[in-house]
């Protein structure tokens, strides 16, 4: 079914036993989806539309101070002994070689140029090798250890730099370390994207690299019927990749909730602000627990994105730039061709 991905792994058969039988997903959809037929909605609110101010008006604010939040784990990084031995000079040489600049942040993990030394579980390493990835790209060299450490991060990297895997693979590790989802729970990972095209690209990466784990994902964006998206969310997904407008539609309809989100990603944050999504983003994030981990990605760094980052990142984020410090354009980096 479009927009729904479920990977079955026999090693984890009892992990999500609270969910209905997925062997006949399409049949379930046919039965369940009748009440949602032809329910479209745009999911996109351009910045010239005054109605954008009405988006999210029916979302009840959450007073997080009154909620007893269940603690969650977000630091999974154990530095490899070879990485621990790197001197300050060697760390600088690696960053200089790959045009990595740390613009802001403290206690920044050292860069890791080998997929075998990052500390990923075996199933992640296997998925990388199955996709012929033998070495990380520059943003992954620095982004993986930061994300696995549970730190907030702001990444400036070109489109085509491998940034999707820089946040998706740590998300897999994060998901499988959390308490089991229960029927009716919302996602653990939320990725906000400006367009349906980007959302689908991210989803395809999730599918490609999640075959070794029992992780479900779906997309939510406008321009298509809501029925398939509603069905997938009602069944339960670990990763939701969404455009802000459609997500607010679904939240206002109580299709899902963001109470379980502990890993938040904003991809192409600058583009989302250019498209007039700032108000929607802020209303969505207000629905997410404040002690979450937040990762923001942007090709540019205007003052509007800086202000948003300051508000959304509850901890001092590590700001990483890959490539030119005046990054505006992009050249595609071929994954796996970085020497280790």
Mean pLDDT, residues 136-147 taken together: 97
Mean pLDDT, residues 42-49 taken together: 43
Please tell me the predicted confidence (pLDDT) of residue 28.
40
Q: What angle do CA 239, 165, 115 make, to 5 degrees?
A: 125
**Nearest CA-CA partner of 243 in 34, 12, 45, 33:** 45
Mean pLDDT, residues 326-334 taken together: 46
Please tell me the predicted confidence (pLDDT) of residue 301.
84
- The per-residue pLDDT for range 215-245, each reduced to its tens digit, is 999 999 999 999 999 999 999 999 999 999 9
Q: How far apart are CA 69 and CA 81, in angstroms?
A: 35
- The per-residue pLDDT for range 158-175, each reduced to its tens digit, is 777 899 999 999 999 999
DSSP, collapsed to helix, strand or coil, labels residue 160 as coil
Is residue 168 domain-resident?
Answer: yes
pTM of the model: 0.82
Is residue 284 domain-resident?
Answer: yes
Mean pLDDT, residues 72-94 taken together: 97
Residue with tokens 């202000």: 307
Is residue 249 domain-resident?
Answer: yes
Read off the pLDDT band of 211 (50, 70, 90): confident
Percent of the chain with pLDDT over 70: 80
User: With 80 as the cut, is the pLDDT of residue 152 above it?
Assistant: yes
User: With 70 as the cut, is the pLDDT of residue 292 above it?
Assistant: yes
What's the CATH number where 297 sits? 3.40.50.300
What is the number of structural domains in the chain?
1
Is residue 161 domain-resident?
Answer: yes
Is residue 289 domain-resident?
Answer: yes
Range 52-62 burial, b when 16+ CB lie within 10 A, else e: beebbeeeeeb
Q: Among the listed ranges 102-106, 252-256, 305-309, 330-334, which one has the minimum average pLDDT value?
A: 330-334
DSSP, collapsed to helix, strand or coil, labels residue 259 as coil
Which stretches does DSSP call E strand in the chain? 4-5, 100-104, 153-156, 189-192, 217-220, 239-242, 263-266, 293-298, 318-322
Q: How far apart are CA 257 and CA 246, in angstroms?
A: 13
Q: Are 239 and 15 in contact (CB under 8 A)?
A: no
Is residue 1 domain-resident?
Answer: no
Is residue 115 domain-resident?
Answer: yes
Q: How far apart are CA 188 and CA 179, in angstroms?
A: 10
Q: Are 221 and 147 in contact (CB under 8 A)?
A: no
Is residue 88 domain-resident?
Answer: no
Domain of residue 56: give its range.
31-60+101-322
Q: Among the listed ranges 48-57, 173-182, 271-280, which one has the minimum average pLDDT value?
A: 48-57
**Nearest CA-CA partner of 272 in 298, 293, 239, 306:** 298
User: With 50 as the cut, is the pLDDT of residue 41 above it?
Assistant: no
Q: How far apart are CA 327 and CA 270, in angstroms?
A: 13
- The per-residue pLDDT for range 98-134, each reduced to its tens digit, is 999 999 999 999 999 999 999 999 999 999 999 999 9
Q: Are 281 and 308 in contact (CB under 8 A)?
A: yes
- The per-residue DSSP string of 175-242 comes to HHTSPPP-TT---SEEEE-SSHHHHHHHHHHHHHH-TTTT--EEEE-SSS-SHHHHHHHHH--SEEEE
Please tell me the predicted confidence (pLDDT) of residue 20.
35
């Amino acid at each position: 079914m479009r927009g729904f991905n479920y990977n079955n792994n026999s090693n984890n058969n009892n992990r999500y036993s609270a969910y209905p039988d997925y062997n006949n997903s399409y049949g379930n959809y046919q039965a369940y989806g009748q009440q949602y037929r032809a329910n479209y909605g745009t999911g996109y609110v351009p910045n010239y539309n005054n109605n954008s101010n009405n988006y999210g008006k029916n979302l009840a604010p959450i007073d997080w101070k009154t909620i007893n939040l269940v603690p969650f784990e977000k630091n999974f990084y154990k530095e490899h002994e070879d990485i621990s031995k790197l001197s300050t000079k060697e760390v600088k040489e690696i960053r200089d070689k790959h045009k990595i600049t740390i613009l802001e942040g403290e206690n920044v993990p050292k860069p890791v140029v080998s997929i075998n030394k990052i500390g990923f579980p075996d199933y992640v390493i296997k998925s990388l090798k199955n996709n012929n990835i033998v070495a990380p790209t520059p943003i992954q060299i620095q982004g993986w250890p930061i994300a696995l450490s549970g730190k907030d991060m702001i990444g400036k990297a070109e489109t085509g730099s491998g940034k999707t895997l820089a946040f998706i693979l740590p998300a897999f590790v994060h998901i499988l370390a959390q308490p089991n989802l229960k029927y009716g729970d919302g996602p653990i990972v939320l990725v906000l994207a400006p367009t349906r095209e980007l959302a689908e690209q991210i989803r395809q990466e999730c599918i490609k690299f999640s075959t070794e784990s029992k992780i479900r994902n779906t997309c939510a964006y406008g321009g298509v019927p809501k029925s398939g998206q509603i069905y997938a969310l009602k069944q339960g997904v670990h990763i939701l990749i969404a455009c802000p407008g459609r997500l607010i539609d679904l939240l206002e309809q109580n299709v899902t909730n963001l109470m379980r989100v502990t890993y938040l990603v904003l991809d192409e944050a600058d583009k989302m602000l250019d498209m007039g999504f700032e108000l929607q983003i802020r209303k969505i994030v207000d629905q997410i627990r404040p002690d979450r981990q937040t990762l923001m990605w942007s090709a540019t760094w205007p003052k509007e994105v800086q202000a948003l980052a300051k508000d959304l990142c509850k901890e001092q984020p590590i700001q990483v730039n890959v490539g030119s410090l005046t990054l505006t354009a992009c050249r595609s980096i071929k994954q796996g061709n970085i020497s280790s």
